Every structure is written in structure tokens, then in C-alpha cells.
Amino acid sequence: MRIVLLGAPGSGKGTQAARLKAELGIAHISTGDLLRAAVKAGTPSGLRAKAVMEAGQLVSDEIVLAILEERLAQPDTHGGFILDGYPRNLAQADALDRLLKRIGQPLDAVLKLNVPDADILKRTEIRFKAEGRADDNPETVRRRLEVYAQQTAPVADYYAQRGLLGEVNGVGAIDEIAARLLAALDTRPATPA
């Protein structure tokens, strides 16, 4: 099964992707982790990304997609994968669809974790106090939520129009949310041809 997991920052994507990986026995792919690994490994795309990052710039969609393609060529993804938090905008969604079609691995499902902003702010504040993560600073989280609403939320509509989107309540105990995600996968109609 090939899945994209969407949700606002702090919605629990990483936690739930790990649960789905364990339950379904498929690869969990986080583009942030991929980028860091490609840089560390010195792959051609990783070297390009490193040069961009060292110049203080954002890594282009083209480079991220190249790194993702390198990852999808690895054998552990052939039985399926979960893309955690990617694509983040409509251009990335379109590029991802073209890549997956070209390599013969189209998406089976897109799951979106719905969590109210107030709950996200509470979650990240707790994590900020416990772990001190700079990206969990309340003001930073508010800015990230604004960017998500403008750029990433429309990606859900993109996949809904293709009959791939399932929305899941992301509030509650971790096990309850994981069960909801699995149920959403079980109740999805067959993948469109």
C-alpha cells in the first residue's frame, strides 16, 4: 500500500506514520529525514542539497523529488510506503503524481489527520517545555499553521478530487487515532484506474 499522510504541524503525523509502518509492514519516508540522510551519504542529490543548505537557501522541490526518487528505488519501498508530510503544496503533489506514475507506484490512499489548531498549540507547547524544540515555540507554531493553511491544506482537495482522500479525527489517544487511520484504509473504495 502506498500512502501519503497529511496534517498540520503537530498533528501527530510522525507518530502515526510509525504506527502504520509497524502495522502494515511498509517503509516510512519523511522527506526531512531523507534530506539529512542523502547529505550525510553524499549521494548526487544529497551533495546538491548540501550546497544549497550551506548557502542558507531552501532546498528546491526538484532536489527533494530527486532524493525521494532515489529512496523509492530501494527494495523496502516496493511493497509500499508512507510519505510523512509530503507533498506540502500543489506543485509538489503534481510532481509526486508524475514521478509515481513514471515508476509504476501510484498512490493507493491519502490520509489527512484533522486536529484543531487549539489542540495543536497545546500539544506543541507541552513538547516545547519537555524537549525545547525551537520549531515548537508557540509563535513559530502559529506561523507554521498559517503556512499550512495557505499552502498545504489545498493538497487535500487535490487528492479528494482524485478519490484518494480519507479524513481522520486526529484528537484522542494515540492508539485510538491509529485505529481510525487503519479503519479509513479498510473502508476506502478501490483505487481508481
Active-site residues: which are they? Answer: 13, 88, 127, 133, 144
Between CA 123 and CA 116 the distance in angstroms is 11
C-alpha cell at 148: 499550512
User: Measuring CA to CA, which residue among 29, 19, 28 is closest to residue 180?
Assistant: 19
Distance of CA 20 to the CA centre of its chain: 13
The conformational region for residue 176 under phi > 0 = left, psi -120 to 50 = alpha, else beta, is alpha
Residues paired with 112 in a beta bridge: 6, 167
Between CA 152 and CA 157 the distance in angstroms is 10
> Beta strand pairing status for 165-169 and 27-30?
unpaired
SS3 at position 137: coil
8 Å CB contact between 117 and 10: no
Residues paired with 3 in a beta bridge: 82, 109
